Amino acid sequence: MDGAETPLLLVADLTKVYGEGDTRVEALRGVSFTVPAGDMVAIMGASGSGKSTLMNILGCLDRPTAGRFELAGEDVARMTRDELAEIRNRRIGFVFQNFNLLPRTSALENVELPLVYSSVRGGEIAARARAALERVGLADRAHHAPSQLSGGQQQRVAIARALVNEPSLLLADEPTGNLDTATSLEVMQVLGELNREGMTVLLITHERDIAGFARRVIVLRDGEIVEDRSNDGGRAPRSGGGGTGR
Amino acid sequence: MRRLWLLLRVALRAIARNKMRSGLTVLGIIIGVAAVITMVAIGEGASTMVQSQIASMGDNIINIFPGSSVGPGGRHGGAGSASSLTEEDAAAIAQHVPTVKAVSPVAISGGQVVFGNQNWSTSIFGGNTDYLAIRSWPLAGGSHFSESAVRGAAKVCILGQTIVDQLFGGLDPVGQTIRIRRMPFTVIGVLERKGQNTWGRDQDDIIIAPYTTVMKKLSATTRLSMILASATSMADIPQATADITQLLRARHRLAPGADDDFTVRTQQDVADIAGSTARVMRVLLAAIASVSLLVGGIGIMNIMLVSVTERTREIGTRMAVGAKGWHVLVQFLAESVVLACLGGALGVALGFTAAKLVAHFARWPILIAPASVALAFGFAAVIGVFFGYWPARKASRLDPIEALRYE
């Protein structure tokens, strides 16, 4: 049953080359893996290991030089800019290290942002944004600007924004990089909870503690996967059916 | 609808956030639009005044001057320099040209006018009983001279208001006797005030008398200064002009190909001259307006480029959550169009105010044409699109990865 299902992410022999001639850099050299729906995977690696490049491609912000990349059965490797934008809008929720919230714009409007570019009916936008804020426990902060929120709250707003379009994949790029330990824990708990509710989470980090929240860890070095293991940290092992963890 | 509002809201907020900067940016557009509206209002006001004055000159007037025309402006001042027109010409026109309603021979003279111890130098226009009717000039008091007064070259006259003011003070001139070049004339009527004409001449500085009187008693000539005629309608003016020309050429025995020894000028010609002046003025205004709006547009483009650079991270974020190229393009285009329209609206308001002030303080008639307001405003909006497009396109083509990383 597990193998028969289409994986949410299918990456096969992915390469990415920057520059030409003397300045040619191979950021990814043949990366292959699959991620089933409902998983929580941490991608680790030192800076320069190619994890940012991989994250950009998985986030449909960039296109690979060669290789296959399918997201929920759709081949996105050869899509145009605007097609990629639509995939990002429908399928992917981003959580960034520096939150990337629009300044001087209320939490609610920040969360509304992906819906503005989607096919969601105009009248539903505010209600759905409110629901997403409620999910991360910030309903009472809807009209606060990012500058009036703590770092942890800002990251939770960003998570609400990532969720609001009901994406297939939550892509978190060093989500705790700018947060202190206590707040990091809080944010990781939110992500863990979302995963238990069925959301596929892809975590890019260089911190072992943070990677410990994932069920599976992929380690990159010099553009290649050097380690791909399921986490033995005692966290709930992946259930075969991929159903809701509860 | 809501989505459109969300887009517009982003633009409005971006503008409101930098009030000072936005204000300075749109200043160029404000000044440009205000300049167009004020100047067009002044120009149109003047042009309307000219048109109404030309219309007030009389009823479908046709002027026939002796001497050939040299160009626009012609022989008006030189009446009498050639002397090809006679009373018989006038009579023939009245008799043979069906599109002519009335004809008056005109004799013009000038001289010292004395009443009591007051004296004044003025022009004396001689006409027949139709003269004032052709010029659409009613009497303010008294009566017109009669057919027999014309036949008998009676020494009667009708005074313009300036003469009344200069010679009579508060007195009623009708029935009084004045001396024109020492000859006694009985004042039988007073003209209504007409004011200055288009070229600033006082039209009320005039005395009207029978043309026979002017010719025999004042000028001692048998030739007319000009012939004044009126066509049966505006539409008949060209036909009347052609018929008069043909008739006079035949009467004057001019060989085919020879120049006319007279000039026919209609109200339309005068209106055309005034119209061409107005056209030149309009082109000038358009040039000034284009330059100021161009400068305003460049200002908008400049600030939009700054805005795009400042908000690179924001653009990156928007792209990451799914904004397509055109979403970003429209967002920035909306901002520049809103800026330009804001400038346009403020410019319209400023233009109105300036025009009203000019009207009030310079006593200049103004006419604010709705078309010029619409045009100026529309042009401002077009400027917004035109000069906003490049920065907006630049924004829409940013690489999302680099935009997200931009510091």
Could you tell me which of B83, B93, B82 has the C-alpha nearest to residue B250?
Answer: B93
Over residues B235-276, the pLDDT tens digits come to 888 899 999 999 999 999 888 888 888 888 887 777 777 778
Please indicate, yes or no, if residue A22 is contained in any of the structural domains. no
Tell me the H-state helices in chain A.
Answer: 51-58, 81-91, 107-116, 125-135, 151-163, 181-196, 208-211
Q: Would A221 be classed as within a structural domain?
A: yes
The interface residues of chain B toward chain A in range 346-405, judged by CB-CB distance below 8 A, are: 400-401, 404
What confidence tens digit (pLDDT) does each residue in B368-388 have? 878 888 888 888 889 999 999
Both structure tokens of B189: 């009527």
| Per-residue model confidence (pLDDT) at position B69 | 61
Asked, for residue A246, whether it belongs to a domain, the answer is no
The answer as to whether A76 is a domain residue is no
The shortest C-alpha distance from B9 to chain A (Å) reads 11
The first and second tokens of residue B387, run together, are 């000069």
Query: Chain B closest CA to A230's CA: distance in Å?
Result: 29
Q: Within an 8 Å CB–CB cutoff, is residue B311 touching chain A? A: no
- Taking residues A37-54, report their average pLDDT: 92
pTM of the model: 0.70
What CATH number has the domain bearing residue A46?
3.40.50.300
A169-173 β-sheet, strand order: A92-95, A169-173, A200-205, A40-44, A216-221, A224-230
Looking at the domain assignment, is residue A216 inside a domain? yes
CB contacts, 8 Å: A114 with chain B: 321-322
DSSP states of B302-316? HHHHHHHHHTHHHHH
Per-residue pLDDT tens digits for A46-84 = 888 999 899 999 999 999 999 999 998 889 888 999 999
Strand duo A66-71 + A216-221: pairing: unpaired
Query: What's the whole-number mean pLDDT along residues B359-363?
Result: 82
Using CA coordinates, name the residue in chain A closest to B317.
A100
Contact between chains at A85 and B404 (C-beta distance less than 8 A): no
B97 has a pLDDT exceeding 50 = yes
Most confidently modeled range among A144-148, B133-137, B293-297, B356-360? A144-148
B66: β partners:
B262
Query: Please, is A206 exposed, middle or buried when counting C-beta atoms within 10 Å of its C-beta (0-12, 13-18, 19+)?
Result: middle
pLDDT at res. A236: 43
- Checking if the pLDDT of B59 tops 80, the result is no
Please provide the average confidence, as pLDDT, over all residues in chain B. Answer: 86
pLDDT of residue B199: 65
pLDDT higher than threshold 90 for residue B46: no
Which chain A residues are within 8 Å of B11, Cβ to Cβ?
A: none
| CB B193 within 8 Å of CB B137 | no
* Strand segments (E) across B46-95: 61-66
Contact flag A125-B2 (C-beta cutoff 8 Å): yes
Interface of A with B in 62-101 (CB under 8 A): 62, 81-82, 85-86, 88-90, 94, 96, 100-101
Q: Where are the domains of chain B?
A: 2-53+273-405, 83-260
Distance CA A129, CA A136 (A): 11
In chain A, how many H helices and how many E strands? 7, 10
Nearest to A113 among B17, B321, B325 (CB): B321
Q: How many domains does chain A divide into?
A: 1
Q: The domain containing residue A110 runs over which residues?
A: 38-62+90-230
Q: What residues of chain B lie within 8 A of the CB of A94, using their CB? A: 320-321
Q: Check CB contact of A53 with chain B, cutoff 8 Å.
A: no
Q: Tally A–B CB contacts below 8 A.
A: 68
**Phi (first) and psi of residue A204, to 5 degrees:** -110, 125
Residue of A nearest to B404 (CA): A100
Interchain contact, B325 vs A82, CB within 8 Å? yes
